[in-house]
Structures are given as C-alpha cells and as structure tokens.
Copies of this chain bind each other. A is one copy, B any other.
Amino acid sequence: MNNSINIGLLGLGTVGSGVVHIIDQHQDKLKHQVGCSVTISKILVNDLHKERDVHLNGSRLTTDADDILNDPEVDVILEVMGGIEESRKYILQALENKKHVVTANKDLVAVYGSELLQAAAKNKCDLFYEASVAGGIPIIRSLVDGLASDKITKMMGILNGTTNYILTKMTKEGRDYNEVLKEAQDLGYAESDPTADVEGIDAARKTAILGTLGFSMPIELEDVNVAGISNVTTEDLDYSHELGLTMKLIGIAERTGNKVEVSVQPTLFPHSHPLASVNDEFNAVYVYGEAVGETMFYGPGAGKLPTATAVVSDLVEVMKNMRLGVNGNKVSEPQFEKQLKSDDEIFSKYFLRIHAKDQAGTFSELTSVFSENDVSLEKILQRPVEGQEVAEIIVTTHKVSKQNYDSVLKALAELDVVDHVKSSYRVEGGK
C-alpha cells in the first residue's frame, strides 16, 4: 500500500485554486482521516506562465492532459475545468487508465453521467460528483450513505441560486421579473444569457442527478418535465401570499412503488414550510426517507470554497475506498430500470388564477368544470378587477391527478365565461 496518494488536478481556475488551498491547509487532518499523505503532483492549465495567487507547494504545471492522464503514478483525477466534451474525453481516458475521478461538473454529469458511471464501474474506479449538485451541501453523500439503511421516496430541491435570488427579490420587494433579472445580471448573479437558469434547465440537470442517485434509476435530462420562472408575475406572488403560500422553483423527484416522477416548476409552499424560508442565493434539498422521515439540507449552492470543500470531501472518500479496496462499488450505479409515471399517476395540489366574466352564472359554470373532472377545491378567492368587466378568481385544489387537472385547464380555456387562464402552479408541502 502506498504511503502517499498522488492527485492530478484538471483546471486551476476559481475552484481549482480553492482545492489546492484546502489540501495545503489541511494536510495533517487528511492524513489522520485516511492514514496516508496526499500530494497534488500535476495540474493541467492553459498557460504555464500566468501569474497565479496560489501556493503550488511543488505541484508541476502542464498544458498536456496526457502527461497527467497517462502517468501511472497519478491515482486520482480531480476535474474542475468545466465544459462538456473535453472533460468527458479526459475523464473517460482517466477511468480507462484505472484512475479514480472526482468532478464538480454538473453539466457533464447530467448529460453523460450514465456513460461515465458505466466506465467507472467497468474499470472498478470511483467517480464522485458531490460538488455538481448544491456545492456547499453534502446532499449526494447523505443520499448515498442514507441508501445503505433507508429508502428514499421523495426529494424536493431549490437547486438554482440565480432563480431563488430573483424569486426572493420579487416576493419581498414586489418588483417585477424583468427588473430583478436585470439587477441580478448587473450584479453578476445571473448570466447575460440567463436561459439555462430561468427556464429551469440547470435545476432540471441537478434534479436528474438527484433522482438517479436517490432512486437508483438512470434518469436523464429529457425525463424531466421542466417549467421556468420567466412568466411569474408579481400578481401571482401577491395572491399566493394572501393564501399563505410562498413560491420557489423546485425540482421534484417522487417515487410510488417502482414508478417515478421527475419535474422542475415554480411551486407554492405554505409560509411555515422549511423550503419557504430558503432565500436569496441559498439552495436546499428536502428529502423523505421511509425510515428517517423528513430531513432537509440547506446551504450555499455555489462559490469557490464551498465547491472546493465538496471536491475535497469526495477525494477523502476515494482515498478511504482505495485503502479499503472497495472502489467502484455498485452504490452509485443505477440498479433499477427506469419507469416514469404517466399523468394519471402524478398527484399534487394546484393554485389556479383565472380572469372570468363578472356576471351571474359564471361561478357555477366554472365549478361544474372542476367537478366533472373530479377536481375538488380547497380555497376560493374572488374579487372584481378594477376598471374591467372581469373578476379575478383564484382557487387552490385538493390533491388531484395531473391528468384530471390538465383536463380542467383545457376545458376552462374553452369556456365563454373565462377571459383568460392567468396562471397555474403546483402546491406542495401541506398536509
């Protein structure tokens, strides 16, 4: 058994220099945990001569990936360079060469996760990716460790800091979506092309990763039913608030028997639900386990040191497994066939806002649509819209099937008395 484990680091940007810093600072503690020392022997960079604000402590820089990936002395690869195609190629090559891999790359894991995990299993190597979902929260480790002695039935996550920041500002300050988005872009919290964030795609990638792990099924991005927040209005938030509800963009992965539902959508929670208090750029994952009941993990979703901390935690796990001789065990490779729920198997409550003609008989026409489709109502709020001949009608439903609810939406849109179906959101977290 080696007395030192050698690391190859791919990338020396923000997260990479965080990793170098943490390993340098915590050398003694790492040795205590693992029983041997850790050396970053080589680091892949684009430019050998760039000025860097990081203490390299003897690590050799190289611009040639092969110099690291084919080095028989390198035991573990940490991929913190980002991007998809090149990272994929390097990681596959590393696994072929029997090197364990830790990656912080959510885009890569969401798209090529199954391929990479298969390659890892084939080569009996570890492939860990704690930093790819909610960087500062040890959620993947909690799911995997928990799986040894529990069965997870549902996960609900606030998985994207940008959209949570936007919804928090809209809710607390009553400002509209475009204004808050622009401010977030000016502050650098949102990308100049914010599509992946605001349309829920980033959250969908992470939800697919959580679902794959939590249910041990190969769930892919295209299995996730996605809606973003770009159509959310301050009126929606005001009316929700009046009904005691707070909006969050939520990734949901839910299992009933052997069938699962995976989706991302703006979702309303009672103010008193723990997810309703997760504000600003924070992330959180709410997990239901058969044995443990309800637990929640809350923390920063991104950032240099939170992400680097997650990478180093994975590295510690890899090194422990190396010394145990249990690398590449089956826990993280999906064990069950994927079975997605159909719409008549997905149950939820809903919030619905309609503008309808403010005249006798309207309400009875509406309620018959609901009852014909077996959708029962929990709360109803009606009031005139100022200066118009329409009434604002808001209802929340009891738990109903998505199929029945979608039939209601379709039937309502065709009613003469309905002016406009303004908005519709899923409601979770109640009794």
Contact = CB atoms under 8 A, between A and B. Distances in A.
Interface stretch (A256-264, A308-316, A339-347): A308-316
A277 B136 CA distance: 21
Interface residues of A, number: 57
Interface in A4-38: 22, 25-26, 29-30, 32-35
Interface in A277-320: 277-279, 282, 284, 289-300, 303, 305-306, 308-309, 312-313, 316, 320
A60 interface: no
A296 to B, nearest CB: 4
Of A146, A147, A279, A292, most B-chain CB atoms within 10 Å: A292
A274 interface: yes
Interface stretch (A99-107, A185-193, A227-235, A321-329): A321-329
B26 A149 contact: yes
B32 A136 contact: no
Nearest to A326: B35
A312 to B, nearest CB: 4
B300 A298 contact: no
Interface stretch (A90-98, A137-145, A369-377, A378-386): A137-145
Nearest to A142: B138
A276 interface: yes
Of A147, A290, A291, A294, most B-chain CB atoms within 10 Å: A291
Given A32-B331, A300-B294, A138 B145 contact: yes
A398 to B, nearest CB: 22
A407 B320 CA distance: 53
A410 interface: no
Nearest to A135: B292
Interface string A40-55: 0000000000000000
Contacts of A313: 145-146, 148-149
A111 B285 CA distance: 34
A330 interface: yes
A291 B273 contact: no
A305 B323 CA distance: 31
Given A33-B329, A146-B309, 4 more contacts: A32-B330, A138-B142, A298-B298, A323-B325
14 contacts: A26-B148, A32-B331, A141-B145, A145-B313, A146-B313, A148-B313, A274-B274, A274-B298, A284-B296, A292-B299, A292-B300, A296-B296, A297-B297, A324-B324
Interface of A: 22, 25-26, 29-30, 32-35, 136-138, 141-142, 145-150, 272-274, 276-279, 282, 284, 289-300, 303, 305-306, 308-309, 312-313, 316, 320, 323-326, 329-331
